[in-house]
Amino acid sequence: MPEKNRQIFLVETPAGKLQESHFEMRTGDIPAPQDGQVQVRNLLLSLDAANRAWMQGDTYRKGVGAGDAMDGYGIGVVTQSESDRFAAGDIVGAAVGWQDYSVHKAHRLEKLPADVKPLSHLISLYGIAGKTAYHGLVQVGRPKEGETVLVSAAAGSVGMFVGQIARNLGCRTIGLAGGPEKCAWVTDTLGFDACIDYKNEPYRRRIAELAPDGVDIYFDNVGGAVLEAALFNMAMKGRIVCCGAISQYDTTEMTSPRGVPGIHVFKRLRMEGFIVMDFADRDAEAVRDMGRWFRDGKMVVEEDILDGLENAPRGLIGLLAGDNRGKRMIRVAPDPA
Amino acid sequence: MPEKNRQIFLVETPAGKLQESHFEMRTGDIPAPQDGQVQVRNLLLSLDAANRAWMQGDTYRKGVGAGDAMDGYGIGVVTQSESDRFAAGDIVGAAVGWQDYSVHKAHRLEKLPADVKPLSHLISLYGIAGKTAYHGLVQVGRPKEGETVLVSAAAGSVGMFVGQIARNLGCRTIGLAGGPEKCAWVTDTLGFDACIDYKNEPYRRRIAELAPDGVDIYFDNVGGAVLEAALFNMAMKGRIVCCGAISQYDTTEMTSPRGVPGIHVFKRLRMEGFIVMDFADRDAEAVRDMGRWFRDGKMVVEEDILDGLENAPRGLIGLLAGDNRGKRMIRVAPDPA
């Protein structure tokens, strides 16, 4: 166990692309819990495109600005508890931040099952990525058997699950991913029916070819020009699930999809945004279905784990550039034995 | 009764603003009904922004191109019937087109109550305008008492009803209209709580001032920059009802609202398009409520009726420029005695 707490700060608000120089690692004392608080040894940090969106200002949560400690969801093990709701050794999930240790009021922590192996599945399959995919597709998109589901960032943390869930629900699945290797993996390993290489193919035309009757559900992780291409290929009564807009986060240049709202009217589209927490009351359903599919061999879980807290800035920057395949995380400390 | 049928054709597809020179009136024989068909003397034509959208190509219906007879919804009286479902004297609604007489297969006609006085209410209060407002607000927007409803084109055919329905359902209502006279009419006569003059006021800031807790429902008739202003002022879980995009129809310059889809995600917005026909199975509910409010003095019906088929092109051009107040129609022939 370290004797000091390393913590990563955002020292400059990025204008344009995020760079490692925008961050700084500082070392301080390990924070001690007060009455009602819990000290956590952080194990795994979830890297998410939303981390970058927070730097653009207040969104669904307070923004992260220059001088702030970098925040982020993660899981950890309780090392010291001043609350009767938690005991040392408990596995918990929380906004642990980019640091070795974190201290939380007990009600800000979620107790997680300690017997999941590996614990990283609490971030991917059963965690923020899997639940986002499940709730977005099932509760917001409301797929019907036989429908065509298009997913952007299909090799990414959420997209990989969306396509597999859709397939397990009897839908036709088309992915969008960057580069031939990712596309081959999306079809061959994840089992999507097709995958379009948006970096090298005329994707608007390819969507039209692959979905001649239109796209019933477009699960949007990227926004921008790809959203526009999907919009012009939606089927009547189609649904656009707005999960994220990664193309709009690491830039100061916003691109707005044409066709809004004309196409919404004449195609009767529903375009709806959500955050995974909105459906917390249905998490059990997500965990049940995802677990069953996984055990039945119907759900591939790909994790892209970088070792070491110090690699969090680089890991996030790479994620924004599309370097990852599957759910990207930072390993801060090994799973407890 | 005329002995010839006058009929207006679109002779040139407009690039940019619609002009009278794009139309041509031609005179021909009055069409005779075949077996199973019905001949209708057209009485009133509904002029709608959608008429212009049809000239941009196929939308929710086939487009109207150069050389086509101009189409449009209207009501008429049956003059000759070769179907046992209709008799001379019946009042009917249909896509009667811009002409004196029309002939239809019986199943393309809707029989309307002949005792409504004036019959123009079958187009405004109980017709395409009122039902569009009712279904859009009630079924798509799903207002709750105490919510704030923002309506663009608030002095227009649909907007005028939307605000009044919202008020009758216990919502706070804010209109957007062009010019101080229209705005005064929207508040003083229609009873909106406030109205913003989008031509002369900084409307994005004014929306923020008038709806400090955000807009729960934005009923969009215009698209473009006004939609963008609304988008940035939506409340959490807000709904944008996409009814039309008049700012995008009479032009070749499309403007896309910024903030799509970022704001959808973090505010969890639902943006949904519809067409009045989608809710035909609930028309009775609309007619019941609208009628009750009208009889109780809680629903002002403003009609802007131009006399003479020959004025249809001018009337539509004026509507696209925002000249009308209330539901604009063309009187083709007087109501039967």
Q: List the 176-235 stretch of B: residues with Cβ below 8 A of A.
A: 220, 223, 227
Closest CA to A80 of A29, A39, A31, A36: A39
CA A313 – CA A8 distance, rounded (Å): 9
Q: Answer for the pair A192, A160: CB distance below 8 angstroms, yes or no.
A: no
What pLDDT sits at residue A90?
Answer: 98
| pLDDT band for position B254 (cuts 50, 70, 90) | confident
Residue A226 C-beta-side C-alpha neighbours within 13 Å: 26
Give one DSSP letter per residue of A118-167, joined into a string: SGGGGTTTTSHHHHHHHIIIIIII---TT-EEEESSTTBTTHHHHHHHHH
Backbone angles phi, psi at B182, to 5 degrees: -60, -45
Interchain contact A62–B (C-beta under 8 A): no
- In terms of Cβ atoms closer than 10 Å to its own Cβ (0-12, 13-18, 19+), residue B63 is middle
Residue B278 C-beta-side C-alpha neighbours within 13 Å: 21
First to last CA, chain A: 14
Identify the helix (H) or strand (E) that includes residue A304. Answer: strand A303-307
What pLDDT sits at residue B51?
Answer: 97
- In terms of Cβ atoms closer than 10 Å to its own Cβ (0-12, 13-18, 19+), residue A276 is buried
Identical fold for domains B4-124+302-331 and B142-278, yes or no, is no
Q: For residue range A9-21, list pLDDT tens digits in order.
A: 999 999 999 999 9
Q: List the 160-179 stretch of B: residues with Cβ below 8 A of A.
A: none
| pLDDT band for position B253 (cuts 50, 70, 90) | confident
Q: Judge whether residue B269 has pLDDT over 90.
A: yes
Q: For residue range B69-117, list pLDDT tens digits in order.
A: 999 999 999 999 999 999 999 999 999 999 999 999 999 999 999 999 9
CA B131 – CA B137 distance, rounded (Å): 10
Q: Answer for the pair A54, A63: CB distance below 8 angstroms, yes or no.
A: yes
What pLDDT sits at residue A26?
Answer: 98
> What average pLDDT does range B171-184 have in this prediction?
98
Q: How close is the nearest chain B Cα to the Cα of A43, in Å?
A: 28
State the best of B264, B269, B279 to mutate against chain A, taking most chain A CBs within 10 Å. B264
> What average pLDDT does range A292-313 have in this prediction?
98
pTM of the model: 0.96
What pLDDT sits at residue B59?
Answer: 85
- CATH code of the domain occupying B4-124+302-331: 3.90.180.10
Decide if B271 and A275 are in contact by the 8 Å CB cutoff. Answer: no
Beta strands, E only, A243-292: 270-273
Q: What are the sequence ranges of the domains in chain A?
A: 4-124+302-331, 144-278
Other CB atoms within a 10 A radius of the CB of residue B56 amount to 17
A–B interface: beta-carbon pairs under 8 A: 122
Closest CA to A312 of A330, A328, A324, A327: A330
Locate tokens 């049956």: which residue?
Answer: B78
Q: Answer for the pair B242, B265: CB distance below 8 angstroms, yes or no.
A: no
What pLDDT sits at residue B155?
Answer: 98
Spell out the alpha helix ranges (H) of chain B.
49-53, 128-134, 159-168, 180-188, 203-210, 224-231, 262-266, 283-295, 312-320
Q: Which residue in chain B has the smallest CA separation from A54?
A: B266
Interchain contact B149–A (C-beta under 8 A): no
Q: Answer for the pair B51, B41: CB distance below 8 angstroms, yes or no.
A: no
Closest CA to A85 of A102, A100, A105, A103: A105
| pLDDT band for position A118 (cuts 50, 70, 90) | very high
Mean pLDDT of the residues in chain A: 97
> What average pLDDT does range B2-18 have in this prediction?
95
Q: Answer for the pair A267, B255: CB distance below 8 angstroms, yes or no.
A: no
Q: Judge whether residue A304 has pLDDT over 80.
A: yes
Q: Give A-chain residues touching B136 at CB under 8 angstroms.
A: none
CA B248 – CA B117 distance, rounded (Å): 35
Pick among 3.20.20.80, 3.60.110.10, 3.40.50.720, 3.40.50.150: CATH of B142-278: 3.40.50.720
Interchain contact A248–B (C-beta under 8 A): yes
Give me the amino acid identity at B180.
Answer: P
Locate tokens 């008799």: which residue?
Answer: B87
Decide if A261 and B268 are in contact by the 8 Å CB cutoff. Answer: no
Decide if B268 and A275 are in contact by the 8 Å CB cutoff. Answer: yes
Q: For residue range B56-72, list pLDDT tens digits in order.
A: 998 889 999 999 999 99
Closest CA to B207 of B154, B145, B276: B154
> What average pLDDT does range A42-56 have in this prediction?
96
The pair of structure tokens assigned to B38 is 């019905």
Identify the helix (H) or strand (E) that includes residue A94. Answer: strand A91-94
The pair of structure tokens assigned to A185 is 């993996």
Q: Which of B53, B59, B261 sits opposite A220 (nearest CB)?
A: B261
The pair of structure tokens assigned to B216 is 């729960």
Q: Which of A242, A265, A275 sits opposite B261 (nearest CB)?
A: A242
What pLDDT sits at residue A255?
Answer: 86
What pLDDT sits at residue B276?
Answer: 96
In 3-state terms chain A splits into helix, strand, coil percentages (rounded to 5) of 30, 25, 40
Helices B203-210 + B224-231 axis angle, to 10: 40
Pick among 3.40.190.10, 3.40.50.720, 3.40.50.2300, 3.30.300.20: CATH of A144-278: 3.40.50.720
Spell out the alpha helix ranges (H) of B59-192.
128-134, 159-168, 180-188
Pairing state between β A234-242 and A215-220: parallel
Interchain contact B282–A (C-beta under 8 A): no
Interchain contact A257–B (C-beta under 8 A): yes
State the best of B246, B260, B279 to mutate against chain A, taking most chain A CBs within 10 Å. B260
Decide if B240 and A227 are in contact by the 8 Å CB cutoff. Answer: no
Closest CA to A2 of A38, A23, A31, A24: A31
